Amino acid sequence: MLDNKIRDLINEQINKELYSAYLYLDFANYYHEQGLDGFANWYDIQAQEERDHAMLMRTYLHNNGEKVLLDVINKPDKTYENTDSPLKMSLEHEQFITASINNIYRIASELHDYRTMQFYDWFIKEQGEEEKNAEDLIRKYELFGSDPKGLYALNQELLSRVYTASSFTV
């Protein structure tokens, strides 16, 4: 059994991960509409990964005899003014998620909940990678996105991304 505070925070985090999936699907829809299938593919895969994160946390609660409480997932309400708007929003969103996961880790540490800290070690590393990926994409867009050939090449690069399930298990 986990401390109620930790249980509630993990349930909230599951909702945030599912919202992340929803948000990234919305980004993917936008890029499909723009004819940028590579960018759309990138965010389709991001959405799958976010769902996986939610499922890992769900399994963690189950394994610890805790109740999983699914809450309403907010509607993505973003408007995209430019082709790079989702890229910037993605970085901001990942920073928000990192702060949220760090908060769970901090509280687990205060409660001497070493099991939860160990579980979230993987997510802390993952967030570092996701923030870096988001920053790299913004940078590449700044370098190549304004040139049609550059944008085409970047779109092709993102189209080659394939989904691989995480090797992390609970």
Q: Which CB, 99 or 143, lies closer to ligand OFO? A: 99
What is the x/- site pattern for ligand OFO, positions 138-157, by CB under 6 A?
--------------------
Q: Which CB, 153 or 161, lies closer to ligand OFO? A: 161
Among 42, 53, 56, 158, binds ligand OFO (CB under 6 A): 53
Q: Which CB, 33 or 129, lies closer to ligand OFO? A: 129
With contacts defined by CB under 6 A, how many residues of the chain interact with ligand OFO? 9
Q: Please, are residues 2 and 66 in contact by the beta-carbon 8 Å criterion?
A: yes
- Residue 23, token pair as written in the block: 């948000």
The span of 35-43, 109-117, 122-130, 158-166 binding ligand OFO (CB under 6 A) equals: 122-130
- Residue 169, token pair as written in the block: 């298990």
- For residue 65, the 8-state DSSP code is T
CA distances from 4 to 9, 14, 65, 81 (A): 8, 15, 12, 42
CA angle in degrees (0–180, nearest 5) for 150-78-100? 100
Residue 102 Cβ, how far from ligand OFO at the closest point, in Å?
Answer: 13
Q: Which CB, 1 or 162, lies closer to ligand OFO? A: 162
Closest CA to 79 of 69, 66, 88, 71: 88
Query: In whole angstroms, what separates CA 159 from the centre of its chain?
Result: 19
Binding site for ligand OFO (CB under 6 A): 17, 20, 50, 53, 94, 97, 126-127, 130
